[in-house]
């Protein structure tokens, strides 16, 4: 497993990390805790040393599993978790949202304690807000709370998981030196972060965590027009109506257009290598819920990205969309 620097922290983290949403067991179909633990052990055996979770994954169950798991390993494993905004606010949040209502000082402090207790630790490596809006950049209370947590040794770094459609909205806090890491959607379809956000992160030495490298599993190439998801699985909404057809058609085009030298890779590995080809990226966190997924995903973590020629070809597949709130008509695909 190849390691990369994690911003200005001095850490070396694995190129492939462990995305722990699915092991929470509530939104990606049924999940057995024993399978989750086996997957975690296998990933760490292969050199993975970065795990990303959140309070909202299984209402804290993902954090609990990881906390118990960490106690069984001797290696240094970096864990990032996320604090959700206070409930009762419209979604998506408006750009001028007041952080004093969403992430007030005392709430940040209290929620950090919740995660520390669940994960049975005295210190969280990376504490993140589970969303961000532009208005946070000109407000100070959240930064004062984060600074206090760092001074108390309860967190080492602070970051945010930025929204799907507005990843640039955190740039103001990056240039102020208030952000250690940014978690963002980046994949063969969603290449927008490379236009604005990534150059800023490189300049200010801010770590970049890539989520959704497979576009909710689509870029693994395993879906077809007859694919069904379990009851309660979030993908039922994401791939509703015409959305699944639209994605399946586009993924096939990508697969068919691959250069001969990459035909031996699975689509999943190809998609991960695309993400890792950008120098701003610190780690990619595909969702892992089984030993087989752990084994498959770590293959991309050998430090070898795609060629410049292949990346140029893939730039033609840029496709901004918002499947969470809209349906895409496949007839509009060029």
- What whole-number percentage of the chain has pLDDT above 70? 98
- Between CA 208 and CA 159 the distance in angstroms is 10
In this predicted structure, the answer to whether residue 334 has a pLDDT above a threshold of 90 is no
DSSP classification of residue 5? E
In a domain? residue 133: yes
Query: What integer is the mean pLDDT of 264-272?
Result: 97
Rounded CA-CA distance 46/52 in Å is 17
Would 54 be classed as within a structural domain?
yes
pLDDT given at position 29: 83
Per-residue pLDDT at 214 exceeds 80 = yes
| 21 within a domain of the structure (yes/no) | yes
Q: What percent of the chain has pLDDT over 90?
A: 88
Residue 181 domain boundaries: 3-224+267-305
Evaluate if residue 311 carries a pLDDT over 60: yes
pLDDT of 324 > 80? The answer is no
Looking at residue 283, its pLDDT comes to 98
Beta strands in 186-282 (DSSP E): 207-211
Partnered with residue 82 across adjacent β-strands are: 128
The token duo for 95 is 């750009």
Q: Is residue 177 part of a domain?
A: yes
Domain CATH number, residue 166:
3.20.20.100
In a domain, 256, yes or no: no
pLDDT one-digit tens code per residue, 160-210 = 999 999 999 999 999 999 999 999 999 999 999 999 999 999 999 999 999
Residue 74 within any structural domain of the chain = yes
**So what's the pLDDT on residue 333?**
38
| Mean pLDDT, all residues of the chain | 94
How far, in Å, CA of 87 to CA of 99, rounded?
Answer: 13
The pTM for the full model equals 0.95
* 16 and 301 Cβ atoms separated by less than 8 Å: yes
- Write out the two tokens for 332: 């509009």
pLDDT band at 332, cuts 50/70/90?
Answer: very low
Going by pLDDT thresholds of 50, 70 and 90, the confidence category of residue 325 is confident
Task: Report the alpha-carbon distance of residue 82 to residue 121 in Å, rounded.
Answer: 15
Q: How far apart are CA 115 and CA 80, in angstroms?
A: 10
Residue 206 lies in a domain: yes
What would the pLDDT profile of 143-165 be if each residue is shown by its tens digit?
Answer: 999 999 999 999 999 999 999 99
Residue 332 domain flag: no
Domain count, the chain: 1
CB–CB of 84/59 below 8 Å? no
pLDDT in tens, 282-291: 999 999 999 9
Structure confidence by residue, pLDDT tens digits, 115-144: 999 999 999 999 999 999 999 999 999 999
Q: Which residue has the higher pLDDT, 323 or 65?
A: 65
């Amino acid at each position: 497993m190849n390691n990369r620097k994690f911003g200005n922290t001095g850490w070396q983290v694995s190129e492939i990390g462990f995305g722990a949403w699915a092991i929470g067991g509530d939104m990606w179909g049924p999940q057995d805790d024993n399978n989750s633990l086996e997957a975690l052990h296998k990933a760490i055996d292969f050199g993975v040393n970065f795990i990303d979770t959140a309070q909202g994954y299984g209402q804290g169950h993902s954090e609990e599993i990881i906390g118990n798991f960490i106690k069984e390993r001797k290696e240094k494993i970096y864990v990032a978790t996320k604090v959700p905004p206070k409930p009762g606010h419209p979604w998506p949040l408006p750009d001028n949202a007041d952080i004093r209502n969403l992430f007030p000082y005392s709430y940040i402090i209290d929620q950090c304690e919740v995660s520390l207790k669940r994960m049975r630790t005295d210190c969280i490596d990376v504490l993140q807000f589970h969303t961000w809006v532009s208005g946070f950049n000109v407000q100070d209370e959240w930064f004062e709370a984060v600074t206090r947590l760092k001074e108390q040794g309860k967190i080492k770094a602070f970051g945010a998981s930025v929204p799907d459609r507005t990843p640039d909205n955190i740039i103001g806090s990056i240039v102020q030196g208030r952000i250690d890491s940014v978690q963002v959607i980046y994949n063969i379809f969603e290449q927008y972060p490379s236009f604005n956000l990534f150059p800023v992160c490189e300049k200010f030495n801010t770590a970049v965590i890539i989520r959704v490298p497979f576009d909710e599993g689509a870029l693994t190439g395993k879906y077809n027009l007859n694919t069904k998801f379990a009851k309660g699985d979030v993908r039922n909404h994401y791939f509703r109506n015409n959305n699944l057809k639209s994605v399946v058609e586009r993924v096939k085009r990508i697969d068919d257009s691959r250069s001969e030298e990459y035909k031996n890779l699975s689509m999943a590995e190809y998609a991960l290598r695309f993400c890792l080809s950008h120098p701003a990226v610190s780690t990619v966190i595909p969702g892992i819920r089984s030993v087989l997924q752990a084994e498959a995903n770590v293959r991309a973590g050998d430090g070898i990205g795609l060629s410049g020629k292949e990346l140029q070809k893939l730039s033609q597949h840029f496709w901004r969309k918002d499947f969470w709130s809209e349906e895409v008509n496949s007839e509009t695909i060029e």
